[in-house]
Chain A
Amino acid sequence: MRFFRKKQGIGKAGAGWSLFAGVVSLIYFFPVLWIILTAFKTRTDTLSIPPKFIFTPTFDNFIAVFYRSAASSQDAASTGFELYFFNSIFIAGTSVILALIIGTLASYGFSRHPLRGNDTYLFVILTTRMLPPIIAIIPIFLMFRLSGLSGTYIGIILLYTAFNLPFSIWMIKSFFDEISTDVEDAARMDGSRDRGVFFKICLPQVKAGLAATAVFALILTWNEFLFALLLTGTDTRTVPVQMARTLGGEIGVDWGLLAAIVTIFLIPVFAVTYMLQNHLLRGVTFGTVKK
């Protein structure tokens, strides 16, 4: 009869449960921790057998991310990594802003002025996002080659905008659908025009949702690999592509360097995960599951 005591569902649990959950979470988080530790190790510590958990931390790897052969400080040439970081941020940022503007308009349209075949449009839009990128990439590759967009900022930004658009539309529409139309109707009664209703009444109510959508789209774009691999050139290369290239290095993999890149890359992601916890569910399901 004892186990009747055990309460299921959301209930309160004490410090004991915290300890248990802490251990489980740490084990789950361990791969991330291990990479972060590796980023602070010297090459010998990284390759040591058995693995070292306690060591003297060094920042050499982080310096090496940006400066080639930091040891001989004389001609510490740039590795071009700040360019890749800039590319990642610039490309992701611009395409997310574009996608957000176009997506907000479209989702407002879908939500408040449904067309005939509204659901079909939405379905097709979601499908473009669900389809394996590998299918789209073949013709896009040809198209970019033909139009000279290959390796340019404008090309990859346009592609990423289109890539973020289905997500933004579904996400923002789910926020628009949630707010009551009473206030809008009342504003219309009072003589507000559609533009006023949209900017003064609708948008402020979905502000938080727009922010969440933007951050999600940023992360998704920030992480994207395949399109960037095939469509960016030396000048427009993003961080994930550079990571993969470092991994496929000819003279053995410099794990410390790679770990440092991953660690830098990881910080914004972890921060966002922590901040966005309440919107995460909606975000990862494209707004199809709210709660």
Chain B
Amino acid sequence: MASGIQIRQMTKRFGDLVAVNAVDLDIDDGEVLCLLGPSGCGKTTTLRMVAGLEDVSEGEICIDGNRVNDISTPERNVAMAFQFYALYPSITVAENLSYPLHAEQISRAEIKARIASVADKLDLTEVLNRYPSQLAEGEKQRVAVGRAIIRKPSCFLFDEPLSRLDIELRQQMRTKVKEVLAGLSKPTVIVTHDQIEALTMADRIAVMRDGKIEQVATPHDIFAAPSNTFVAGFIGTPGMNLIPSVIEGVSERGELKLNIDGQHVVVDVNAGAMNLPVGAKVTLGVRPRFFETVAESSETTLSGKVDIIEPMGAETLFHVLDGTRELRVVMDRTVRFKEGETIHLEFQPKLTHVFDAQGSLVQ
């Protein structure tokens, strides 16, 4: 019998609107998958369909090898933590935590033991007798997580679990939740719009846009090899520079000769790009941290004028104007440029991506 969650060609329509478009996903037991995307991209709808809170328009969902399309939410036996926590306001934290256990045939002693263990894991022991309205935001969030992990469900679903916390709390909770997730032996799906959350907590990330999955990969791969310009621009802060350019040929050393807004630059990229025809329009993807500055302009450099300088602590973000376009360049804080100064940027070998005219990564 298959285990985990399999999603095949799952589609959701609201009238004419296609909220989720032919999504395929596999999540194994014990794996944490993050659905990442801008708001309105269909990630929450996807999660709700897995939970059975929304009907599936087309396609199918299997949990533990059973097709669950026509099985109601309670019978799917999924655990879920809601974005707004959905704590029951009239009962205490302990009762909230044990709420899902009443549907199972468990002895009182066992319930008590489970509450104690979850409370211990999530530092909730102190607040067990309080009501949700008396809790701090971080505590509410932990109760919501606790109510999900107290069960032995077929899968765990988290809808924007950390989105309502302030930045500091979010960092603490990220570590805490990751720790908790590591101990789960069932498939886990987390919906988030925060890439840091996805990158830190996920085993794999699925980036969604307009109801479609753009790429599914490990946090490392998704950062190192974004499959298209959307993923490339979405992952990483500050965002990747996407520079439209035209191929002019290949140099003797096997480097790509490009025309970037009138500047002729030679760039060392992967071999796949060498097969593109001369005159092809491509987009060059360079992360802000993967530039180097050199003193003199040469055939391998791109020149631009420093426009705005934003110190970020350990590093400094420079907005560099190259003709009409703005490039984001991050340098160590020891690097000092003045506003208006012209600088020459060199692309670090092999860390520059080439996307074709359709926006797909050229391998």
Contact = CB atoms under 8 A, between A and B. Distances in A.
B363 interface: no
Interface residues of A, number: 3
A1 interface: yes
Contacts of B75: 1, 4
A10 to B, nearest CB: 15
A289 B192 CA distance: 39
Contacts of A4: 72-75
A1 B103 CA distance: 11
Interface residues of B, number: 4
Interface in B62-76: 72-75
Interface of A, helix, strand, loop or mixed by DSSP: helix
A4 B72 CA distance: 8
A5 interface: yes
Nearest to B74: A4
B201 to A, nearest CB: 31
A14 to B, nearest CB: 14
Interface of B, helix, strand, loop or mixed by DSSP: helix
A1 B77 CA distance: 12
A1 to B, nearest CB: 6
Interface string A66-89: 000000000000000000000000
Nearest to A5: B72
A58 to B, nearest CB: 50
A5 B75 CA distance: 10
Interface in A1-17: 1, 4-5
B172 to A, nearest CB: 35
Interface in A242-287: none
A1 B73 CA distance: 11
A1 B75 CA distance: 8
Interface string B55-89: 00000000000000000111100000000000000
B67 to A, nearest CB: 17
Nearest to A1: B75
A1 B72 CA distance: 9
Interface in B204-240: none
A1 B76 CA distance: 12
A5 B74 CA distance: 9
B245 to A, nearest CB: 52
A4 B75 CA distance: 9
B99 to A, nearest CB: 15
Interface string B36-72: 0000000000000000000000000000000000001
Contacts of A5: 72
A4 B77 CA distance: 12
A21 to B, nearest CB: 24
A5 B72 CA distance: 7
A13 to B, nearest CB: 15
B98 to A, nearest CB: 19
Nearest to B73: A4
Contacts of B74: 1, 4
A232 B72 CA distance: 65
A4 B71 CA distance: 11
Nearest to A6: B72
A80 B196 CA distance: 82
Interface in B175-206: none
A58 B312 CA distance: 87
B84 to A, nearest CB: 15
Contacts of B73: 4
Interface string A216-239: 000000000000000000000000
A244 B75 CA distance: 61
A63 B31 CA distance: 82
Nearest to A4: B74
Contacts of A1: 72, 74-75
A91 B75 CA distance: 63
A4 B103 CA distance: 12
Interface in A177-232: none
A41 B309 CA distance: 89
A5 B52 CA distance: 11
A79 to B, nearest CB: 58
B117 to A, nearest CB: 28
A48 B72 CA distance: 55
Interface string A23-46: 000000000000000000000000
B295 to A, nearest CB: 57
A5 B73 CA distance: 8
Contacts of B72: 1, 4-5
Nearest to A2: B72
Interface in B256-285: none
B88 to A, nearest CB: 14
B153 to A, nearest CB: 15
A1 B74 CA distance: 9
Nearest to B75: A1
B8 to A, nearest CB: 25
A227 B74 CA distance: 59
A225 B73 CA distance: 55
A218 B74 CA distance: 51
A98 to B, nearest CB: 45
A93 to B, nearest CB: 46
Interface string A107-133: 000000000000000000000000000
A282 B72 CA distance: 39
Interface of A: 1, 4-5
8 contacts: A1-B72, A1-B74, A1-B75, A4-B72, A4-B73, A4-B74, A4-B75, A5-B72
Instruction: Report the 8 A-B pairs with minimum CB-CB distance, sorted nearest first.
Output: A4-B74, A5-B72, A4-B72, A1-B75, A4-B75, A1-B74, A4-B73, A1-B72
Given A4-B73, A4-B74, A4-B75, 5 more contacts: A1-B72, A1-B74, A1-B75, A4-B72, A5-B72
